[in-house]
Amino acid sequence: MISRTLFRQQIVPIVFGIVCLAALIALIEFLIWIGVINRFIVPYPSEIIGSFKRIIVEEDVLDRFLLTAGEALAASLMLTVVGISLGVLLHRMHLLRLATETWIAAVASAPLVLMYPLFLVIYGRSALTIIMIGFVAALPPVILKTLEGLSGTRKVLIDVGRSFNLTPSQLYWKILFPAALPNIFVGVRLGMIFALINIVGVEFLINFGGLGQLVNELAERYDLPGTYAAICFVILVSVVFFIVTERAERWLRPV
């Protein structure tokens, strides 16, 4: 009985996902083959798959993967700590919130990555520049979602806490945080995606570091299958992060 529900709820979706992906790849392969998609813009998926070995052996893709993932991890940790703290601060200080919330939302849509020269001046041509841009660019969604979660807590739950004489910090830890957690995780996940995009983008722009630089180089060499294969590794970083946050959320809040 139990193994059957497990089968239904876990194995089937995974298999279905893989089948869909395979079907999509086959479809693209077919469309290129009959000439609907230009093979000089999109290489055959089979060629991309074929080039994995090459970029692993010749281009140090694993090291670059670890570097980009490490940068993303550093940015994400800073993001989580600073973003949530700022969200809490805005929640506590109503005036500050009224004064800045719209600005923060506006910053969220600004292409901060284009400010990379400024960061280069401050932090030099180093991984730190990349991390800082990823961090700053991804801060707004974490702040805004934390704020949304905290202020969306149902009033009656806060009243329950107050009626049990909770101290303000107990009220935060025992009620507001758990209530806001689903929202906070949405914010952190969004933030990680923002951070990764910006990190890879800056690596690409300043030609430094991990996967972004590799994508840049391969594209300049007009090695299209290699470029796409490298992009697959960027996607892999994001998949890994997604799985980690999902685990963390389920651990912190089982329902």
Partner 1 sequence: MAASPDPSARPGDGGSASAEPILVVDDIYKQFETQDGVLVAVDHVSFDVKPGEFLSVIGPSGCGKSTLFNIMGGLLDGYGGRVSVAGETVRGPHASIGMIFQEESTFPWRSVIDNVAFPLEIAGMPKAERLEKARHFVDLVGLDGFERRYPSELSGGMRQRVSMARTLASEPKILLMDEPFAALDEQTRLLLGDKVLQIQQDLKQTTLLITHNLTEAVQLSDRILVMTYRPGKTKRIVAIDLPRPRTSEIVGSDAFGHYVAQIWNDLREEASRGMRDDESRRGGARRA
Q: For residue 11, with 0-12 CB atoms within 10 Å meaning exposed, 13-18 middle and 19 or more buried, which class applies?
A: exposed
239 binds partner 1 (CB under 8 A): no
User: Binder to partner 1 among 160, 239, 243, 244 (CB under 8 A)?
Assistant: 160
Classify 176 as helix, strand or coil.
helix
User: Binder to partner 1 among 25, 49, 107, 166 (CB under 8 A)?
Assistant: 166
93 binds partner 1 (CB under 8 A): no
Asked if 234 contacts 192 with a C-beta cutoff of 8 angstroms, the reply is no
255 binds partner 1 (CB under 8 A): yes
Q: Which is nearer to partner 1, 36 or 156 (CB)?
A: 156
5 binds partner 1 (CB under 8 A): no
The alpha-carbon radius of gyration of the chain (Å, integer) is: 22
The piece of 108-116, 175-183, 196-204, 231-239 that touches partner 1 (CB under 8 A) is 175-183
How many chain residues interact with partner 1 (CB under 8 A)? 19
CA-CA distance, 220 to 209, in Å (whole number)? 16
- CA-to-CA dists, residue 214 to 46, 185, 205, angstroms: 20, 31, 11
The piece of 28-36, 76-84, 124-132, 159-167 that touches partner 1 (CB under 8 A) is 159-167
CA-CA distance, 82 to 79, in Å (whole number)? 5
Where does this chain bind partner 1 (CB under 8 A)?
A: 154, 156-157, 159-160, 162-166, 170, 174-175, 178-179, 181, 253-255
